[in-house]
A and B are shown apart, each in its own frame.
Chain A
Amino acid sequence: MFEVSDIVAAYGQIEALKGVSLKVESGKITCLLGPNGAGKTTLMMTIAGILQPRRGSIRLEGAELTGLTPARIVSRGVALVPENRLVFPEMSVRENLLAGAYQRRDRAGVDSDIERMYARFPRLKERREQMAGTLSGGEQQMLAVARALMSRPRLLLMDEPSLGLAPLIVAEIFDIIAELNRDGTTIFLVEQNAHMALKVAHQFFLMEQGRITFSGTPGQLAEDEVIQRAYLGSRRAAG
C-alpha cells in the first residue's frame, strides 16, 4: 500500500497542492485524472523527491519517504516515468537503460534485465546503439518506461505517458501498462486521456485545483462526467 496524506506543496507563495491524500493499492493500476494545472505533475515530482512538500507525509508499505533524496526514494522502490519522457538524448538506448539501473551493483542482474527490456520492447533492441534523441516519440516513451523499470521498482509512477503520441502508439503504451501490472508492478498513473485511463485503471482519483475531489472505481461515475471534470474541472457548476 502506498499512501499520500495531506501533502501541501508550493512554488513560492502559490500553493499547487492544498492537502492531497490518496491511497494506491499494491498490485493495482490507480489513475489520477484532472485538468491542466490541477497539480498532478507537482504531486508526481513531490513523490519522487524532486520537490519537497511543505507538509504531509508519503509512505510506501508504511515506510516514510518524505524528506528523502530522489536517490533514496529510487532505492526504496519508487520510480517515475516523467512527463515528456526526458530521455538522455545523446546517450544510446543501452546507456539510457544502464543509467536507469545506476543504483544497482549486480552487473549480471542488470545485464539480464536489459535483455528482458529488449524482449518486452523489441523496437528498443533494434535501436540499442542509437542515440535516444533520434528515436520517435513512442520509442522514447518506451525507453523512458524501460529505464524506470531498470531500477526494479515496486511502485511505478507514470506522468502523462500518452502525451503527444499517435492513437495507435497510445494503445500500445496502455497495453504495456496493463501487461506490466499483470506481472505484478503497482502502477500510479497521471493521465489526460481519461478514456484510455479508465479502461485499464482499477481505481481512480479526480484532482482539481490542488485537491482530490473524487475517488472511486471506473464504473462509479459516468464516463461523460469524469471526462468533463478531468478536462474542464467542476468549478464551472460551483461558481
Chain B
Amino acid sequence: MDLLDLIDAVQSVADGVLFGATYSLLGIGFTLIFGVMHKINLSYAAASIGAAYASLLVMSVVQAPAVLAFVAAAAAGGVIGGLVYLVGFRFIPLANPLATLMSTVGLLLLIDEIIVHATAGVPLNYPALFSDVIVQVGPFGLRGDLMFVFALGCVCMVVLLLLLYRTRLGLATRAVSQQPTASLLCGISTTRVNVLTFVITGIVGGIAGAMTGAAIGMLSPLLSLPLTVKGLIVTVIGGLGSIPGAIIAGLIVGGLENAFQFFRGVSERDLYIMLLLFAFLVFRPGGIFARSAGRD
C-alpha cells in the first residue's frame, strides 16, 4: 500500500469516526431505555428516522434556516418517544419478556410503513449544515458537515450526562435502573421516570436521525433497519446499560465501518461489523469496559 492509499484509508476512518457520533447517540438511547425498563425498544432507530422525516415536513411548511430541521427533529423525536411508550409499553404486560419485544417490532414496521406511504418510498434530500466547509489538516480534509454532526453529538452526550448525574430527574432515573423497589420506597414514581426516559431518548434519537440525514444528504426508509442493527451492535459492544461504553463503541463502529468499506468494498462492509458483534458476544459479552469473559 503506498502513501496515497494510506492517506485515503485514514481519511475514510476519520470520516467514519465523525459519523459514528450518530451511532453513539442511538446506542445511548437503547442503553438508557434498557437501563430503566430492562427492555429493548426495537423501534428506536425507526422512530429516530421518523422524527427526521417529520422535521422535513415542518421545513416544507415554514421557510426556515437549516438549523431548525434539527430542532424540529428533536421535538418530533420527543413526541414519538412518548407515543412509543404509550403504545408499546404502557399497557403491555411487562412481566412477559417477549411482549414488548413484539410490540416494538410492530412499531418499527408501523413507522417504516408510514414513511413509505407518506413519501412513496422515494428518498428525500435533507439539509446539511457547513457542507461547503472543509478544514485541511495536513493531507487530510475534515468535512464541515461531518464535523458539525460530531460536535452536535458531543453536545448531546454532555447534556445527557449532566442531566443524569447533576439533576433530580437524573438521580431518579439512576435509582429506578439500579433498584426499582427501593426507588418506589423512596417515593420515586417509576412510571413518570419511564415516560420521561422515553421522551428524552426520543429527543436524542430525533437529533441522531437529523444528523444521519445531514451527513448522508438525504433520508430514505431503507435507513431504519441498518440503523437499528448498528444501534444494537453499539449497545452490545459498549455493554448493555453503559453510557460511556455506548459513546466509545459508536465511534469505533463508525470508524471500522469505513475502514472495512475502504479495504473490502461497500457490499462486504456490514459483514465484518456483524462478525465483530459475534466476537464481542463470545469474548466480551459485558462490552468493552467489562472484564473479559472467563473461558472455562
> A residues within 8 Å of B by Cβ?
48-50, 69-71, 74-75, 79-80, 82, 86-91, 95, 98-100, 102-103, 147-148, 151
Given that A69-B189, A90-B178, A91-B175 are known contacts, is A99 also in contact with B184, CB under 8 Å in the complex?
no
Q: Can you list 7 A-B contacts (CB < 8 A)?
A: A70-B187, A74-B186, A75-B187, A86-B182, A91-B175, A102-B175, A102-B186
Cβ contact of A82, chosen from B172, B175, B181, B189, cutoff 8 A: B181
Contact with A along B174-203 (1 / 0, CB 8 A): 110011011111111100000000000000
CB distance from B243 to the nearest CB of A (A): 12
Give the CA-CA distance A151 to B185 in the complex, in Å: 10
Report whether A82 and B171 are in contact in the complex, using a CB–CB cutoff of 8 Å. no
In the complex, the answer to whether B171 meets A151 with C-beta atoms within 8 Å is: no
Q: Is B291 an interface residue (CB 8 A)?
A: no
| A98 adjacent to B171 (CB under 8 Å) | yes
Q: Are B189 and A71 in contact (CB under 8 A)?
A: yes
Interchain CA distance A2-B171 in the complex, whole Å: 31
* A-B pairs, 7 with minimum CB distance: A74-B187, A86-B182, A103-B187, A70-B184, A71-B187, A88-B178, A99-B186
Contact B172 A71 (CB under 8 A): no
Is B168 an interface residue when CB atoms closer than 8 A count as contact? yes
A73 to chain B, nearest CB (A): 8
Cβ contacts under 8 Å, A71 to chain B = 184, 187-189
Interface residues on B, range: 10 to 19
Separation of A80 and B187 alpha carbons in the complex (Å): 11
Residues of A contacting B184 in the complex (Cβ-Cβ under 8 angstroms): 48-50, 70-71
Q: Which residue of chain B is the closest to A90 with respect to CB atoms?
A: B178
CB distance from B268 to the nearest CB of A (A): 40
- CA–CA, A69 and B171, complex, Å: 20
Residues of B within 8 A of A70 (CB): 184-185, 187
B171 pairs with A99, CB closer than 8 A: yes
Q: Tell whether, in the assembled complex, residue A87 and residue B182 are in contact, meaning their CB atoms are under 8 Å apart.
A: yes
CA distance A49 to B190 in the complex (A): 13
What are the residues of chain B within 8 A of A89 when measuring CB–CB? 178-179
Instruction: Say whether A50 contacts B187, CB under 8 Å.
Output: no
CB <8 Å contact, A102 and B168: yes
